[in-house]
Structure 1
Amino acid sequence: MTPENIKTMDPFMLSSLINTKLRNEFKSLNDLCSHFSLDKKELLERLSQFGYEYYGEINQFR
């Protein structure tokens, strides 16, 4: 997963991929973003364009 993928990936595939990574590999969105050198703000903005919101208490986008 690269910053360029975030900008071009289908939003449904992106949310599925991110949620899978959060569920199986990372304790938080910050950890995921740090690991892949992603801009957290960009990721949040990209997914919010399609109605997804991050819920830290359950560590997933909905």
Structure 2
Amino acid sequence: MAGKIPNDPIMCLSFVNTQLRDFYPDLDELCSAFDTERSELEKKLQAVGYTYDREKNQFR
């Protein structure tokens, strides 16, 4: 899937959770598809209070 993850943290949160819900079984698959470092994505979302929940496959 071509595209770019939004830079704004809140837009990023919405985009990533939608992608995880609809297309990707886990965060690693999403990061691979978007050529994004998982640690950087997690750091960006942690800065606004969200962490990845592997069981729910979403940031909460």
TM-score, normalization by structure 1: 0.86
Name the structure 1 match of 2:29.
Answer: 31
Q: CA deviation at 1:36?
A: 0.8
Aligned residues: 57
2:52 corresponds to which of 41, 44, 54:
54
For the residues of structure 1 that align with 2:34 and 2:40, how far apart are their CA atoms?
13
Structure 2, unaligned runs of 5 or more: none
Identity of aligned residues (%): 42
Structure 1, unaligned runs of 5 or more: none
Q: CA deviation at 1:59?
A: 0.1
Question: Which is worse superposed, 9-18 or 28-37?
Answer: 9-18
TM-score, normalization by structure 2: 0.88
> Once superposed, which parts of structure 1, at least 4 consecutive aligned residues long, lie more than 2 Å away?
none
